[in-house]
Amino acid sequence: MRVATGAGETKPLVFEAGAASVVVDISAGIPRILHWGRPAVASESDGSFLLSLAESQSGADGLHGCTSPSVLPEQSAGWMGTPGLEGHRDGTTFSSRFVATGCEVTGEAGGVQTLVANAVDEEAELALTTTLSFSTSGLLRLGASITNAGTRSQYTVDAMRLALPVPAEAQELLDFAGRHLRERTPQRQPFLVGTHLREGRRGRTGSDATVLLIAGTPGFAFRSGEVWSVHTAWSGNHATFAELGLTGARLLGGGELLLPGEVILAPGETYTTPWLYAAYGEGLDSVASTFHQHLRSRSHHPSSPRPVVLNTWEAVYFEQDLQSLTELAELGAKVGTERFVLDDGWFLHRRNDKAGLGDWQVDPDVWPHGLGPLVEAIREMGMEFGLWFEPEMVNEDSDIARAHPDWILGPGVRLPIRGRHQQVLNLTLPEAFSYVLESMSSLIATHRIEYIKWDHNRDLVEAGDRNTGAPRVHAQTLAVYALMDELRRRHPALEIESCSSGGGRIDLEVLQRTDRVWASDCIDALERQQIQRWTGLLLPPELVGSHVGAPTAHTTHRTHSLAFRAATALFGHFGIEWDLRTASVAELEELAAWVCVYKEERALIHTGTAVHSDYPDNAYWAHGYVSQRGDRAIFAFVALHTSVAAQPGRVRIPGLQPDASYRIEPIEISASALARTASGPPSWWTEPTTATGRMLAVVGLQAPMLYPEQALLIRFVMASTPENVALSTCQRPSEAIEDRN
């Protein structure tokens, strides 16, 4: 369907998919959202009624003729909050008033539908294009482009933000704080008058960035309450905000945060905002499902089973040699590893993190015959080979920095303060861009590398062109995207992992170019339970790397059982980051059994619907994945710490087919995590048990008593399905690991 409409069109456009609806007024200069939430418009008169509700009332000191704000709010329409566009021509033409020139709608109901609306401000000599798309999952995406339509002077864009209205029922806000090793920590607060602004000025998404900013009805949870959410898809400086104006209008919005002078448009030039993604749902699980469905529908979404990864970082750090890594790989192959990733330390002068960064040539002192012998050995073991890079960074103690000091980002002559002993390479310089591209591309081609871990370990502080003094965060972000795009063009089978001090670059724009994110440098299973829980609001598990680390976590010094570490890693893209040479034969056998469980269940986890039980005792979490057909599910019941209650109660298991019966199948690979009790475990743990999906969702399953920092896995298999015998193949197979003594 392709429909073109003229200026002044009064009939609102209605988009619906699933449980969400968006009604758009295109009669004004910039589209206005009249309704975003449950489907509401049943007739043409309903649309006219919604239009009448957009008329603003005001008190004695109010402005006349105000309207509800558009997706790019303008002060000329009476909006006194955060403006959608801030810019000027040498200090003049500071305010806009856009008039519609027409729009076009493409797509069919039930498919992706897109509205492209055009407007001009003839006095300001500006042209605006606003794009709104609504997907089959119910995901709303907004973007806008501003063009300098004048012929005589430049136009400076200081800020451009898009916004969506939410109703008065949205009384509470949820967003996320964080730091290195503790990303995505939830925080709630009332939706009060004023602006709740989350700015990222780190030149990357940031470990403190909020993956979603959510407004909802009071007390909303995973399975209850109406929720509205937005995500700013940009990997550089950015802003996401919630605003309640004095008129009562509530907005959620976001955009790029521009440094002074970063975007100056010559006549005919255009600036395009990042995409603002938005999802509505009943409960947080519904919002997560909307994002997951959208990501899984992409043509470039990973389609092959996500391979078991063995990453060398916490196993060997910088202590690399062919013999040690071959021994590690052999043990990895025995437990079922499918991809071996050589992390930091393989290139020139890189014996620690103080030197060598940027010298992307294999170090002959460590690898006298190059990486070839290791790569060949890995492939002979049946594994893919991956390699670590940090393409945007440079140590001052490196050959490349000594040869090209002007390639380092800085405010001028002086250098910024260091982060992790490193500086940032100015990829906006064609010669620096070309150097990194050719260095990486040559290695990828020579060794037929299937996978790269793309790291980014410092903030962009005072990030400017040292030759001109101009800020470069905006241009650097675009250059990084271009570098990834070109590498993928040259090497179409290449997969890229986004890592940035762990989870510091997780956003939907970098995920247009990457196949996995590293959620955190912390692989302590207790910390990872929270990090992965909240990362999962935005990303499905197949995109989130999750590894089994050493028994005692390197980042927290907590010690956890292998069962807890593996059961945590299972609900992501599973990997191992443990020096397996230090593991006992029994530990290797147990790990092999967990790898077997992952391989058996990854098709379900990586295509299923995420569900969470809103269990009232925060000492326990219950979460899992239900297959698309509803015939299978896998759940984890997790004890985070001790509870004031003497024993846990019943845990509701949502998401199953109400009228179907399910066999309840505990998965017990390791020594039992069940607490010793006088009465023993619940009967469903020891005896064959079936229950209907309705019974499990409404009444629940009696939770077993667990020791703290333990997890139990439970399968639910539709009773009409043949008996599941696959579990027996994952019971710590002693023949899988040979005694190395």
pLDDT per residue as tens digits for the range 212-233 = 999 999 999 999 999 999 999 9
What one-letter code names the amino acid at 92?
T
pLDDT of 408? 98
Dist CA 432 CA 438 (whole Å): 10
Taking Cα atoms as reference points, which of 182, 249, 176, 275 lies closest to residue 510?
Answer: 275
**Where is average pLDDT lowest: 241-250, 255-264, 511-520?**
241-250
Residue 367: CB partners within 8 Å, gap ≥ 6?
322, 346, 374
Q: What is the mean pLDDT of residues 404-428?
A: 96
> 25, 343, 344, 455: which is the annotated catalytic residue?
455
What CATH number does the domain located at 2-296 have?
Answer: 2.70.98.60
Q: With H, G, I as helix, E, B as strand and everything else as coil, classify residue 551.
A: coil
What CATH number does the domain located at 309-603 have?
Answer: 3.20.20.70
Six-digit token string for 596: 């077997």
pLDDT of 736? 43
pLDDT of 187? 98
pLDDT of 464? 98
Dist CA 492 CA 512 (whole Å): 14
Could you report the per-residue pLDDT of 560-611, keeping only the tens digit for each? 999 999 999 999 999 999 999 999 999 999 999 999 999 999 999 999 999 9
Fold annotation for 610-736: Immunoglobulin-like (2.60.40)
Could you report the per-residue pLDDT of 494-520, keeping only the tens digit for each? 999 999 999 999 999 999 999 999 999
pLDDT-based confidence at residue 7 (cuts at 50, 70, 90): low
pLDDT of 727? 45
What one-letter code names the amino acid at 457?
N
Q: Tell me the helices (H) and strands (E) count for the chain, helix number first.
A: 13, 38
pLDDT of 3? 58
**Where along the chain do its domains lie?**
2-296, 309-603, 610-736
Could you report the per-residue pLDDT of 691-713, keeping only the tens digit for each? 999 999 999 999 989 999 999 99
Q: Is 521 a catalytic residue?
A: yes
Dist CA 356 CA 389 (whole Å): 12
Q: What is the mean pLDDT of residues 636-646?
A: 93
Q: Give helix 430-447 / helix 473-490 axis angle, nearest 10°.
A: 30
pLDDT of 60? 65
**CB-CB contact of 257 with 239 (8 Å):** yes
Q: How far apart are the first and last CA of the chain?
A: 70
Q: What is the mean pLDDT of residues 264-287?
A: 98
Place of tokens 């395009």: 272
Name beta bridge partners: 228: 215, 280
> 521, 524, 579, 614: which is the annotated catalytic residue?
521
pLDDT of 734? 41
Q: What is the mean pLDDT of residues 431-438?
A: 98
| 38 has pLDDT over 90 | yes
Q: Residue 100 — φ and ψ, nearest 5°?
A: -65, 140
Q: Is 455 a catalytic residue?
A: yes
